[in-house]
């Protein structure tokens, strides 16, 4: 099947290359002033959607951490502003039961929407936007709902073998039909959740966010006319197309370049799983081939990667790294061509389990960065913490009320051409942490420590960011689950930068017993007073750490980001343990010796690759 997929890509290549112009009509009716007004109005509407969602939702993962993704689309489904790209077109092509004004569509099954959402906790809402009886566009948003049924609280079992073992799957349905709420449907889906009240408010907040976009688009159509509005949207798509064409020509190689990285394990003892990407360009068109990626896993780390979604990821990476001023939309999609082997980790066959797909999702960016780094390592980053660490905690509080907490943690951002990687920071730019005060107010736990994990970042001329160090004390009996990765494989460094540290989790019982927990585990019983030490991975370093200014290393030690020992071993900087003053002569001598011992420096610095268990390699 993989060969057939690649063959189809080759058959379509000549047609794609001949289409040098984007598949949009020119915006002849729009002047520059009107275009700027409409562009900024849409940008603001997209952020207003977030504001409505975050102020109306109930669960901390949406309300506080901002795990929600909005977009505003053309009538054909192409995203004009937003975050997650053209999945509406796939819905339009398969929905056969009519689209009317006042309809609100809901879905959560990745296999029913071609991976537009990638696990069943994400509830996605679509609203068609009508103006004077004609379709003027779509508003959409999805967010992570806290529990959708299944065998464990939170609906993210780390040992699931099929999607049937993860919770309730919602196919595309009308939540509202011509403005009327389907109460029976709502009762059905909430009845399958341990947290129905929280899910209800989160769902209605998502709907409200989409209605906000609906209102703003309608106002633009009223002000400028629907045809001028749509013409402006086409112009914005066309402009992004032209800008991306230049980025592709500047940053993608004309010869094929491959890179691979690994997801540690699948939660069932199998792994590591290789993700391999080959990239090249032909003219202004970019090609991305996942051939060589390992087959789908028995456990739930599979990532059902929608092709348009991956194009979005490519665009995010290229725009954010090379030209953040470019408006992010779907205009560039015709320039990108993707090959995915069916039955692989990133295109599994139904009914593969998908609940822990964030590890492959985030590792995708490390692989993409490594492939681009082969062409221009000076302009790209090292590897980051490369996952999305979760802590889930549930039980009954002192009042006998059931509680469930899901918290997304962060890690070390990689060293970059522009500076050090950020410490204990989110990989997703708009995510935020849950304040400790919020956690301690609404959940039976105490945050004993929370900060940057010293020495976790890989040494480099620009240092990799440190991971998160967090210590929890549980104040009620219950159970926890851990979702993390980079426990066995280190985030790699680039151009002489050293790898970041791996992650670890340790549960300290009230008896004094210390238990090392694997990076993926569900159903761990905890008692009141037990303590969890939660450490996430750091980011890789950028360029040779022996070239980092001595005063920068000294400042890191004084800020307790780097230890005296790491300053000496990795940076060759000798500091007095008492005063932290630099011994200049000893530093010069040590740096000279380390340079001689290290020898020639390659493009990438990897840690050891764990031996594969239970994985059938394609090659």
| pLDDT of 8 above 80 | no
Q: How far apart are CA 215 and CA 217, in angstroms?
A: 6
Which residue is associated with the tokens 């926890």?
480
| pLDDT of 22 above 70 | no
E-strand stretches of 113-183: 122-131, 134-144, 173-177, 180-181
How is residue 528 written in tokens?
């009141």
Average pLDDT of the segment spanning 462-486: 98
Q: How far apart are CA 119 and CA 348, in angstroms?
A: 13
Query: Over pLDDT 70: what percentage of the chain?
Result: 94
- Burial, 85: exposed, middle or buried (Cβ in 10 Å; 0-12, 13-18, 19+)? buried
| pLDDT of 530 above 80 | yes
Coil, strand or helix at 175: strand
Rg for the chain (alpha carbons), in Å?
25
* 615 band by pLDDT with thresholds 50, 70 and 90: low
pLDDT for 324 equals 78
* 268 band by pLDDT with thresholds 50, 70 and 90: very high
Smallest CA-to-CA distance from 48 within 221, 267, 212, 169 is with: 212
Which residue is associated with the tokens 């989409």?
210
In degrees, rounded to 5, the angle at the alpha carbon of residue 598 between the alpha carbons of residues 594 and 601 is 130
Smallest CA-to-CA distance from 541 within 458, 426, 602 is with: 458
* 452 band by pLDDT with thresholds 50, 70 and 90: very high
Coil, strand or helix at 32: helix
Q: What is the pLDDT of residues 212-245, one digit of tens each?
A: 999 999 999 999 999 999 999 999 999 999 999 9
Contacts of 33 (CB under 8 A, 6+ apart): none
* 477 band by pLDDT with thresholds 50, 70 and 90: very high
Query: Over pLDDT 90: what percentage of the chain?
Result: 80
Q: What is the pLDDT of residues 304-330, one digit of tens each?
A: 988 888 888 888 878 877 787 888 898
Q: What is the mean pLDDT of the chain?
A: 91
How is residue 127 written in tokens?
């609203």
| pLDDT of 87 above 90 | no
How is residue 362 written in tokens?
């985030």
| pLDDT of 14 above 70 | no
* Range scoring the smallest mean pLDDT among 172-176, 361-365, 613-617: 613-617
| pLDDT of 12 above 50 | no
Dihedral in degrees, nearest 10, Cα atoms 341, 343, 346, 347: 80
Contacts of 403 (CB under 8 A, 6+ apart): 393, 394, 395, 396, 397, 443, 444, 476, 478
Q: pTM here? A: 0.90
Alpha helices by DSSP H, listed for 358-462, are 358-375, 436-442
Q: Count CB neighbours of 345 within 10 A.
A: 28
Q: What is the pLDDT of residues 539-579, one digit of tens each?
A: 999 999 999 999 999 999 999 999 999 999 999 999 999 99
Average pLDDT of the segment spanning 358-362: 92
């Amino acid at each position: 099947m993989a060969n057939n997929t690649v063959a189809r890509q080759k058959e379509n290549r000549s047609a794609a290359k001949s289409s040098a112009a984007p598949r949009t009509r020119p915006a002849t009716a729009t002047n520059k002033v009107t275009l700027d007004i409409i562009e900024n109005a849409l940008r603001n509407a997209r952020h207003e959607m977030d504001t409505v969602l975050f102020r109306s939702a109930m669960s901390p993962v949406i309300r506080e951490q901002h795990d929600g993704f909005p977009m505003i689309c053309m009538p054909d489904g192409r995203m004009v502003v937003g975050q997650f790209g053209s999945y509406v077109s796939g819905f339009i092509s398969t929905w056969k039961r009519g689209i009317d004004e006042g309809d609100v569509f809901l879905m959560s099954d990745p296999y029913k929407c071609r991976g537009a959402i990638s696990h069943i906790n994400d509830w996605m809402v679509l609203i068609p936007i009508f103006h004077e009886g004609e379709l003027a566009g779509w508003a959409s948003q999805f967010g992570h709902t806290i529990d959708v049924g299944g065998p464990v609280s939170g609906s993210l079992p780390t040992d699931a073998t099929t999607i049937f073992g993860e919770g309730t799957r919602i196919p595309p349905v009308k939540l509202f039909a011509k403005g009327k709420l389907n109460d029976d449907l709502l009762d059905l889906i909430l009845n399958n959740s341990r947290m129905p009240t929280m899910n209800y408010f989160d769902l209605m907040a998502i709907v409200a966010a989409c209605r906000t976009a609906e209102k703003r688009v309608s106002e633009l159509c009223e002000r400028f006319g629907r045809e001028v509005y749509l013409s402006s949207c086409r112009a914005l798509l066309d402009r992004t197309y032209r800008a991306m064409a230049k980025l592709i020509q500047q940053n993608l190689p004309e010869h094929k370049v491959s890179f691979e990285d690994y997801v540690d394990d699948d939660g069932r003892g199998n792994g590591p799983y290789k993700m391999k990407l080959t990239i090249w360009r032909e003219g202004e068109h970019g090609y991305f081939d996942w051939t060589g990626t390992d087959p789908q896993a028995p456990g739930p780390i599979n990532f059902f990667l929608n092709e348009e979604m991956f194009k979005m990821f490519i665009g995010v990476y290229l725009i954010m790294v090379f030209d953040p001023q470019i408006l992010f939309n779907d205009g560039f999609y015709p320039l990108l061509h993707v090959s995915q082997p069916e039955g692989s980790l990133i295109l599994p066959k139904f009914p593969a389990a998908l609940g822990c797909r964030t590890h492959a999702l985030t590792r995708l960016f490390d692989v993409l960065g490594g492939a681009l780094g082969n062409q221009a390592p000076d302009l790209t980053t090292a590897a980051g913490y490369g996952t999305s660490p979760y802590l889930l905690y549930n039980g009954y509080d002192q009042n006998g009320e059931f509680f469930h907490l899901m918290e997304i943690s962060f890690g070390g951002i990689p060293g970059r051409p522009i500076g050090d990687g950020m410490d204990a920071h989110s990989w997703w730019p708009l995510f935020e942490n849950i304040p400790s005060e919020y956690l301690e107010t609404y959940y039976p736990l105490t945050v004993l420590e929370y900060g940057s994990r010293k020495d976790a970042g890989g040494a480099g001329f620009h240092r990799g960011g440190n991971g998160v160090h967090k210590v929890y004390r549980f104040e009620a009996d219950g159970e926890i689950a851990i979702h993390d990765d980079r426990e066995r494989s280190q985030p790699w460094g680039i151009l002489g930068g050293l790898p970041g540290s791996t992650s670890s989790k340790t549960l300290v019982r009230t008896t004094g017993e210390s238990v090392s927990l694997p990076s993926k585990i569900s159903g761990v019983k905890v008692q009141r007073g037990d303590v969890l030490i939660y450490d996430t991975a750091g980011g890789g370093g950028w360029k040779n750490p022996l070239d980092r200014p001595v005063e920068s290393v000294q400042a890191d030690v004084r800020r307790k980001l780097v230890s005296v020992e790491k300053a000496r071993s990795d940076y060759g900087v000798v500091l007095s343990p008492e005063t932290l003053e630099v011994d200049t002569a000893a530093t010069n001598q040590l740096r000279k010796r380390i340079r001689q011992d290290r020898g020639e420096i390659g493009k990438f610095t990897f840690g050891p690759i764990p031996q594969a268990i239970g994985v059938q390699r394609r090659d």
